[in-house]
Structure 1
Amino acid sequence: MHTPPPPPPPGARRADGPPVRLGALVPLTRPGWTEAGRQLLAGLELGVRDVNAAGGIAGRPLELLVRDTAADPVRAAAAVDELAGLGVAAVAGEYHSVAARAAAARADAAGVPFLCSSAVLDELTDGPAQQVARLAPPQSQGWRTYADFLLAAGRRRIAVASQPSAYWASGTRILRDRLAAARGTLLALDADALAPGALCDALAADGATALLLLAGHPEPAVPVVRAVRADRRLDGLLIGAPAGQPEFAGWAAALGADGAGIPFLRYLPDRLGPLGERVAAELRARLGGAPSFVAFEGWDTAAVLAEALRTRGTDRAAVAGAWPHVSVEGTRGPIRFARTAGTGVWQWAGAPVQVADRDPARPDRFRVRHRTG
């Protein structure tokens, strides 16, 4: 049973005028990370419902037009074109960096505001983009935090098992640079070319103290974790997954106890405030389980766009012009945008960053291992 919507505030007008359309890009089919897509969509839908329950945009309801990107940049760009033709005031969403980058480029060229919810690749656009803003922290910020966690834990000989992609390559560069500054080393292993047993042989020969999985879930990440956990030569090796795979229920279902104690990045504060707690409870009811940070990013996306539409109007140019002026209370703290060097977009610089893992003593519970600040 879904939690009923909150009552509208005093004086709120009923949202029954012509709808204000928003486009939503989410990965709902493979090879996209479908569990992340469902979490993102749940947050977006709940956020839109809450906006409409509070009177919408000057009495007009928000209407979400959802398009599945399947993590495909070509599909993402085509979806932006389609949604622009349908008259959306803005496009939002996306989890995968390669798809988000294609969507951002197409949206900026077409003059359609794009609020990226969850993709972190630093260079989301080739240059400064007036139409594009982002809630998720840049990859360099999060992955440097992860490298700092490794160094603080005394892990200086790091191996990465990666697959080819701009996202994984960027993450590897960030980690290598941060480790090198502290006299750490990074060994790159090809997760596609090496079978799990051969990968374990390479780790044992190198003497690595940590293995980071920069690879897809469930394949090849799950077989690699099983192989490493079963190899007594690698007892004491830390397995890590910076991209966040262990946060999702599918990880725990596939690996059980073997999936615990694997640190990952997530974008949550140590404690949620009253708004965050209320949204968390409603997301849990929708999802049938604990919401991930991706679901909170979805809700915050709807809140930001509603604030821009209410204060600046529904014209696309007005929405894009609102990025530097938006100030809204999100589920994870106050949200404001600024220009951040190296990203080309309007960026929420205050997004919280944690390194967390599943507690080996109770894999359904998360532990915070490291945080920014």
Structure 2
Amino acid sequence: MLAGLEMAARDVNDTGGIDGHPLELVVRDTAADPEKAAAAVDELAGLGVAALAGEYHSVVARAAAGRADALGVPFLCSSAVLDALTEQPTDWVARLSPPQSRGWRIYADFLLGAGHSRIAVATQPSVYWAAGTRILRDHLAERGGTVVELDLSALAPAAVCDALVEQRATALLLLVGHPEPAVPIVESVRHDGRLAEVLIGAPAGQPELAEWATLLGDHGAGVPFLRYLPEHLTPLGTRVEAALREQLGDAPSFVAFEGYDTVAVLADLLRTHGTDRAGIAGSWPRVAVEGTRGRIGFSRTPGISVWQWASSPVQVVDRDPAEPGRFRILHTG
């Protein structure tokens, strides 16, 4: 994400900045900690930033969004998907990534289309995992599917395998942290001959991480996850992809494109409204920016408390078992 944010800022400044003034990124690491995120928002607001950008972790983004709303600082969330990003509807926060309810329903449709209607979810206590489980259960139940919860606070990886057999589940979804306990669970399931036909899935996207492939090798392939890319990038996206690949030494993940698009949108608003925070926040519905993954605009979505890019792309992909370094598109929504 940071690579995408920084590249976009360089592009803005290489083309004259904001009315002749350079765009400056002031970076703080939230370290996946809600309290650090809230403190960072307080600090950045005190420094006089025009707007806030970024955040990958949904629970942390919720803490940042709540403080931004309370302090009156516009916040464009790049990558977090939790539907309830703020407690109440707000005009101060907008989001590029699709809400969890949309992405995870698309994932559920993929499971049904692949013939899986009895789904087990290995889960840990978290607002994010609980919301995901609820979305999957409700969507699948309407279509004759069933969700069985396996509580990882009470089950070791070997016990998860036994539970899958007992519950006759044909798919196991990992709603857990990475690498622990996700990696040991995958290894246990892959080595259990009783579960050779069980699909392992990870809707939150853990298999996209390079560490996943390093730790699991071939066992990490064939695990479908959600990715927020279109089938074809825009011309801007193609250029950004090439530059980031050269910079990073590997193909950038969708999160890098979310970072780039975040700055592209905010730069457009800064050119129009300057650094007036209220002016920026009041202009979310008038955004029309060509990003790396399509044309970006924001609207109100029922059940979502922030301004939302409603047409953000969603794919279900996995690592190709024949070539784990390559991603296969399995389903789009």
Of 265-274 and 136-145, the range deviating more from structure 2: 265-274
Counterpart of 2:62 in structure 1 is 101
Question: Deviation of residue 192 (structure 1)?
Answer: 2.9
**Map 1:1-373 → 2, pairs under 5 A:** 40-372=1-333
Amino acid at match of 2:153: D
**Residue range with higher mean Cα deviation, 68-77 or 210-219:** 68-77
CA–CA separation in structure 1 for the residues paired with 2:232 and 2:193? 38
Per-residue deviation, residues 131-160 of structure 1 (Å, max 9, x unmatched)? 100000000000000000000011001000
Q: Which has the higher contact order (CA 8 A, sep 6+)?
A: 2
Secondary structure of the 2:153 match is coil
In structure 2, distance between residues paired with 1:343 and 1:312: 26
Q: Render the CA deviation track for 1:321-355: whole Å, top value 9, x for unaligned.
A: 12111110000000000011111111000100000
| Over 3 Å off, 4+ runs | none
Report the equivalent of 1:19.
none
Q: Residues 121 and 175 of structure 2 are in contact (CA less than 8 Å); yes or no, is this contact kept in structure 1?
A: yes
> What are the superposed Cα offsets for residues 65-118 of structure 1, whole Å, 9 maximum, x if unpaired?
111111111111110000001010001110111111111111111110000000
Cα deviation 1:31-79 (Å, max 9, x = unaligned): xxxxxxxxx1111111111111111100111111111111111111110
For 1:238 and 1:228, locate their aligned partners in 2 and report how far apart those are by CA, in whole Å.
10
* Secondary structure class of the residue paired with 1:51: helix
Name the TM-score, length of structure 2 as normaliser: 0.99
How big is the shift at 1:273? 2.2
Distance, in Å, in 1 between the alignment partners of 2:38 and 2:180 is 26
TM-score, normalised relative to structure 1:
0.88
Distance in 2, matches of 1:246 and 1:53, equals 35
Secondary structure of 2:26 counterpart: strand
CA offset digits 1:348-370 (Å, max 9, x no partner): 00100000000000001110001
Of Structure 1 and Structure 2, the greater strand share is in 1
- Match for 1:160: what amino acid? V
Runs of 5+ consecutive residues of structure 1 not aligned to the other structure: 1-39
Deviation digits for residues 267-300 of structure 1 (CA, Å, limit 9, x no counterpart): 0001112111100011112222110010100000
Q: How far, CA to CA, are the matches of 1:165 and 1:174 in structure 2?
A: 14
| 1:238-272 Cα shifts (integer Å, max 9, x gaps) | 00000001112111111000000000000000111
Measure how far apart 1:193 and its partner are: 2.1
Structure 2 gap ranges (5+): none
d(CA) in 2 for partners of 1:296, 1:359: 22
Q: Partners in 1 of 2:137 and 2:262 — Cα distance?
A: 32
Per the alignment, residue 32 of structure 1 pairs with: none
Give me the whole-angstrom Cα distance separating, in 2, the residues matched to 1:97 and 1:282: 28
Amino acid at match of 2:311: G
SS in 1 for 2:270: helix
Maintained 8 Å contact 2:234/2:291: no
TM superposition shift of 1:209: 0.2
What amino acid is the match of 1:313?
G
Using the alignment, how far apart are the partners of 1:62 and 1:233 within structure 2?
Answer: 57
Give RMSD over aligned pairs.
0.7
Q: Please give the alpha-carbon distance, in whole angstroms, between the structure 2 residues aligned to 1:140 and 1:280.
A: 28
